[in-house]
Structure 1
Amino acid sequence: MNILNGLKMNSVRGRWLRSYAAVLLIPIAMMLVAYFQTRSVLEDEINRANSALLTQLQQDIDSHIDYAYRLSEMIAFNSKVRQFMRSTGTIGPEERIAMVQALSDFRLYTNTTRYVDRFYVYFRSGDFVLTEGSYYDARMYYDLQQSASGLTYEEWKQFLAQPYRGQFFSMQPIEGQPRTGILFAQSLPIEARNAPLATLVIELNEERLLSAIRNIQSYNQGKVYILDGTNQLLASSEKRTGAARSFESLNGETGFVHSQWDGEDVMLSYIQSNRTNWKYVYALPMRLYSQKAEYVRNLTILTVLLALAIGIVLAVLMARRQYDPLGKLVRSVAARSKLDPGTVGNEYDYLEEAIDSTLDHNNQMNRIIEKQKNVLRSNLFVRLLKGRVENDFPVIEVMSEYGIVLRSDYFAVLLIYLEDFSGFFRQEETDVEKKREFVRHIISNIVEELIGRQHQGWMTEIDEMLACTINFTSNLSTEEAKQELLQLTEEAQRFIGSRFHIYFTASVSTIRRSVAELPTAYQEAMEAMEYKMLLGAQKIIFYDQIQSFNHSYSYPLEKEQQLINHVKAGDYEQAKGILDEVIKHNLSEESLPMDMVRCLLFDVISTMMKAAIEVNLNQSELYEENRTTIQDLMNGVSVSAMQERMTLFLGKVCSHVDSKKKSHNFRLKEDILEFINEQYRDHNLSINTISARFDIHPSYLSRYFKEQVGDTLTDYINKLRVDKAKELLRNDEIFIKDICDLVGFYSISTFIRLFKKYEGVTPSSYRTSNDLK
C-alpha cells in the first residue's frame, strides 16, 4: 500500500471515479432535459386542453347565437309583425286582433328555447312595444322594464332608433352597470335599406350562457371571457373588480398569449368563432402551470438524488473492485523494479515506465548479445580462414547457430586493403582508430549487400585487412564466378570511392569446393594482395593473375659497382639512371613473383647503404633510413613508391654527403629530441605542440625533422613510446592498460596496433616471451 501511496493524486482509481461520475451525469443530464421538456409538454397539453374547452364553449354558444338569428328571422317574417310595420300608427280592433295573434305566436317561440330570457319589438310608427306576453306603449314599457337599467328614456329611445343588422351588445355599456348580459338587436324589416320601421331586441339567457363558462372555470380554475369582433368584452365568468382587462394583443383566430393582470402572470388561450367573429378567451394563472410543473420538478429532483446516491455507491464499489488487480500488479512490478512510483503520474504511467525500462534493458542486452554474436561469428571466420579449426569441429552446425545457411559448396575469399580514407573525414577528427573502425563498417555493409544480391558473403577483420568469405548460390564455372566477382568488386570500388572517398585494393582467390579449403583460398588472396606493390594501389588482383610470373631477377655485379661509384662521386643523375635501369629491366619486361621483387629491392637498398657508408653518411641516420625503407617494403608499399623513396634517398646521399655534420641547425635537432624525451608521456604531444614550443611552422618542422633524423616526427615519437613501454613490460606488476597511459598513448587499441607494427608482436605476447626467457 505504501508503494501505491507513492503515486500522485492523479491515480487510476481517481480517474475511474471521475469516469463513472461522468457516466452518471449523463442520465442526470438527460433527466434534467426530460424535466424541462416535460414542463414544456405539460404547458402545451394544458394549452391544448384549454383550446379544446374553448372550442366546446364556442360550439355551445354558437348554438345560442344560431337560435337568436332564427328567432329574429321568425319574428321579422311574422305576418302580424309585418302588418304592424305597415300600419299608420292607429290601433283599431283589427290591429288588436292581429296583436293577440302575434302574442300567441311570440309565446310559442319562447316555449321552444332555453337560451332567450325575453325579447321585445319596438314599432316606430305606433310608438309601442310588443313582447312575448303583452302590449305596451313605449313610455309604459320603459317605466316597467327599462327604468331600472340606469338609462334615461331618451337614451333608450335613441338606442332603438339606430339601424342594426343582427348585432350583439353587452348590457353593461348600453344599459348601465346594474344589469349584465348580451343583447341582440335587429332592425325590421330585415331587407330594408333605409330607416328601420321597427327594432327587435333579444336578451340572451345570461345564466345559461355563463353556466357553460363556469363549467370550464371549475375544471381548471381559470376565467372565461367572450369578446366581440372588435375585442370588446361581451361576457365573462369573472366577478367585476373594476380593473380593466386588455385584450388588444389577441390577434388571429387562435393562439396563446402571456400577459399580466393584477400583478400576476397569466396565460391567455383564445379561439375565434367563424359564425359571429366572437373570441372566446380563457385566462389561466401561470402559478397553476407552476404547481403542476413543481410536482414534476420535485419528482425529478427526488429521482436524480436517488440515482446520484446509488450511482456514487456503485461507482466506488466498482472502482475498488476493478482497481484491486491493478493494485496487485503495480505492487508486484514495484517489488521487482528500481523505478520509484513517486516519479510518475499514475499507475498506468508507472507500468508504462517500468515496461519501457524493462524493454530498453532487454534491447540493450540484445544489442550486446548481437554484438557479441557478430564478434563470435567474425572470430569463427578468422579461425576458418587461418585453418585453426580441428578436423572434427562441426562447422556447419556452428554456422547455423549464427544464422548462416550455406547455399552451395563453392567458396571464394575476397581481401580488401584500405589505401586512403582521409577524404571522408574532417580535419579536426583525429581519432584514427575510430575513423578506421567506421570505414570498415561502411565497407563491410556495402560489400555484403552487393554480394547478397545473388550470392551471400560475410565480412570479417583479419590481419588489419577485411576478408569477405563468399558462398555462391549455384554451381558456377570458374570463369563465370571470376567474372561475377570482378563486377561486384569493381562496383564496390566505384560506389565507395565516389560516394565516401574511400579507396582500397582488393585481391581474390580461386574458387574452392568446400569449407575445409577456405584456408587455402585465404592464403591465395594474401599472396595476390602482396602484388599490390608491383601492380599498384586500388587494383583488383586475382590469384590466377600472378601464376605466370617468373622466379628470378637480373642485377649484375657490375651494375651494382657502377651505382656505388656514381654515388661516391656524387653524380646523382648517373646514379639515378643506373637505379631506374635496374628496376625497369626487372619489373617492366618480365613479371616477377613478389618474393623476388622484395629480394631485388633489398639488394638495391643494400647497394645504396654501402655507398652511403663509403661517403661517411651519419650512421644513425643511415640506420633509421634503412629501417624505415625496409618497414615500408614489408608493409606492402608499392614498387613505384619504393622507387621514389630510394630515388630521394639517393639524391640525399649524393647532394648532402658532408652537409649533415656542418648544418647550422644541428643544435635545434638536439633540443627537439631532448624535448621529446622529456614530454613523450604527454598524450597531446604532436607536431603542433612541438612547433609551438620552438616557434617553428609545423610544415617546416616536419620536413626538417625528417631530414635530420630520418624518421617522421610521429614515427619517432611512437617508436620512443614503444621502447619505453618495452622497459615497463618487463615488470609484471604493471598492467598493460597503465603502461599505455604511462608512455603517452591515448588509446589501448592504438598502443597494441603500433606495438605490433614496430615489434611484430602484441604487448602481452612480448611480456610472455620475456617471462619465458
Structure 2
Amino acid sequence: MRKQWYYRLLFSYLPVFFIASSVVVIISIVSVRLTIGNEAKRVNEVATKQMLSSVDDALRSIDQLILKEILNNVAFDKFFDPAKETNKYLDSLEMSDRIRNIIHATPLIDSLYLYRYRDNIVLTRDERISLEQFPDKEFLMQTLRNPPKSKWSDLREVSEINVYSNEKIIRKVVTLTSKVPTISGGQGLIVVNVRPYAIQSMIEQMANAQYSLLDFVDMNNASIASIRETADAAGKIEKNRHSFVVSSEYTGWSMHSSINNDKVYGFSSAIFYICFASWVFAIAFGAYWIYVVTRRNYKPIEALTGRLEQFKAQKRLKLLGNEKHGEFDVIEAAIDQLIDQFDYQQLHREENKKYRQRKLLLELLEGNADRNDEWIAGMAEERYPSCIALVEIDHYAKFAATYNKRDQYLLKYAVECVFREVSQKHDMQIWAEWLQGNQMAVLFRCKKLDSKAEVISQEISDWVRENLDFTITIGVGMPVQEIEDIADSYESALKSVKMKFKLGSNRVIVSESIHHINEEELVVQPQTLRAIAQTFRQGDPRWSGILDEFVHQTTESNASKDNVLNMLNLVLFSVDREMGETSSDLKTIWKNGLGRLNEMMEPVETERELYQSFYKEMNEIFEAMNKRKDGNSQTALIYKVRSYLDERYEDPDMSLTELGDRFQINPSFLSRIFKEEIGVNITDYLIATRVEKAKQLLRDTQDTVQSISAKVGYVHAISFIRAFKKTTGLTPGEFRKISAEG
C-alpha cells in the first residue's frame, strides 16, 4: 500500500509534465515565429514611412528653395519682370550664375532652367536659348496646355545637348514646375529636374537590402528607385501578408515594401532547432527531477500513512462510525469537523459583536452610555466632533409590500454600504445601525466635521433616488463635542425627520435650517366644523370651500403631523355625527367611505399627500351620496324643495303651506323629512339663505338696509334686522362696517 501511493504520484506527474512541456515548446516556437514576422513587418512599415517622409522632405526643401528664390532674389525679378530689367544679357548672365549655385548647393538637383512667357526664352545654367530650339520644348508646351495637378511630374525622359561636346544626352528625371509669380504665374516657369539615382542613393543609405525589398514608383507605376539584395534581382514585389504600401500626400508617389522572408524565417528556423534541442534536454532533466523530488517528498506521506493506520483503530468510530473508510477519509472527516466548529464559533462571535454594537449605539442615543466601555472610552479620548443622521425610508408601507424580507434586508444593507463608502471617501468615521424597520441611525465622527455630514447625506440621497426604486429622507442633527451630548444630536435629527411632513420627502433636512421653527398647536373653531359637516350632509358644494380655508390655516401653521391628523379626525367626527341623522342608504355610503379615509390617513407621510388623498376620498363619498339622492324619489323631492328655496328666497309670501301646495305634499310631513335629510327645518334654512344673500349685498353694494331687506324677502326691515342679528350676532350696519374695514 505504501508503494502504491508512490507510483500513483510518480505516474500522475510525468504524463502531465511531458504533455505540458511539449505544448509549451510548440506554442513557444510558433509564437517566436509569428512574433519575429510581425515585428519585422512593423519595423519595415515604420522604416518605409520614415524613408518616404525623408524623400518628401528633400523634395519639399527644393520646392521651398525655389519659392524663396522667387520671392527674395533680385536676379529672378530682373529676368522675369521687364520693369526691373537693366541689361538683358547681364541679367541673364547673373541668373545663370545663380542657377549654377543652386545646382551645386543642392545635390538632388540634376538641372534647372527658367522659361519666360513674354519672349519664349529659356535660360539654363549654360545658355540662353529660344523655346523652339530648346530640347525639352515638348514638356513645356504640355505643361502650358494642361497644367499638372501636382508640382512634381512622374518619371519622364529628357534630352539635352552638351554645349561643349554637342552631344545629345537622354536621361530619366522627375520634374518640379513652379509658376512665376507663385500665385498668378503670368511671367514664366521655373523647371527643376531631379535624377532618380539621387533618390536611389538617399533610400539606399536608409534601407537594409538584406531584410527588406522596396520599390519607389510614381503615379503611373514607373519605378523611380528600387532596393534589392542583389542588383540583378529585378521584378515587382509580390503581395503577401508582410507587404506594405504607403503613398505620399505631397507627390502622389508610392513606396511598395516587403520583408525578405528567406532572411527573416531563416533566422527563426535556427531558433527552432535550438528550441527543440533545449526541449529534449528539459524533458530528460525534468523527468529525473520529478523522480528524485517525488521519492524525497513521499517519505513524510509514508510516515503519515503509518500513523493513520494506528489512528483508525482508535478514533474510527468517533469520526466515521462502523463503516470502512480510507486514511484520507478519516483526515477529511476530522478537518470537516474542525471547520464546522470554527464556522460556528466565528458566526457566534460576529452575532455577539453586532448585538453589542447596536446596544452601545442605542445607549449613546438615549444618553446612557457607559464611559467604562472600551469603545466608548476610546471615542471620549479622541474628542472628535460628532453628529447623528437619521435615515428614514419613504413610504415604508409600500416598500414592505413590494419586497419580501430577504430583498428588504439586501436593500437596507446596500444603503448602509453606500453610507460607509461615501463616508470613507470624505475621511469620515461612521457608525450605522438600523433602529427599526424604516429608520437607520448614523453616527458621524471626524476631526473637522463642518458640513461633511450634510454633504455625505445629500450624495447618498441622490444615489438612492437614481439607482433604487425607493427614496429616503435624512435628518441631520446638530454637531456636538462630548459623548454625553450625542443624545441631543439624536433628538434634533429626529425633529428634522419629522419635518418631512411639512417640507416633503426625498430630501436632506438639517437641524440648523429648522431650529427657528417651533411647533404650533392647531385649534379649529366649532362653527367651522359645523359648517363643513352641515354643507356636506346637505349636498352643498360649499363644503369644499370651507374645508379649503381650514386646510390653508393648517398649511400656514407649523403644526405637527399628529396635530393635523387630530384636526382632520375632528372634521370626520363632526361629519359622522351629522350623517347619523340621514337615511340608511346615505349612512352606509358614508360609513364605507369613512373606513377608507381612516386607512388612508395613517401611512401618509407628507402634508401634501395627506390633503390630496383626503380631498379625493371626500369628493368620491360626496358624489356617491349625490347619485344616491338623485335615485331616491323622496330624497330627490327634498333637494328640489331646497333648490326652489334657493331660487325663490326673495318671495315674502314663502311659507311651509305654499311649499306643500307647490309640491303636492303634506306640509308637516315635508317639514319632517326636510329636517331629516338636510339637518335643519325649512324655516331655519330659508332664514340662513336670506342672511347669506344679505351679507353679499352688504359687502358688494351700497344699498340701504331697507332696500336689502326687501330684496331678500322681508317686508319689514325690523324683521330683517332681528333675523340677521340672531344669525350673525351683528346688525346689518355693524356687519357692513366690519366688512369695509377688513
TM-score grouping bracket, smaller chain normalisation: 0.3 to 0.5
* TM-score between both structures, scaled by the size of structure 2: 0.40
Structure with greater Cα Rg = 1
TM (norm. structure 1) is: 0.38
Higher RCO (CA 8 Å, separation ≥ 6 residues): 1
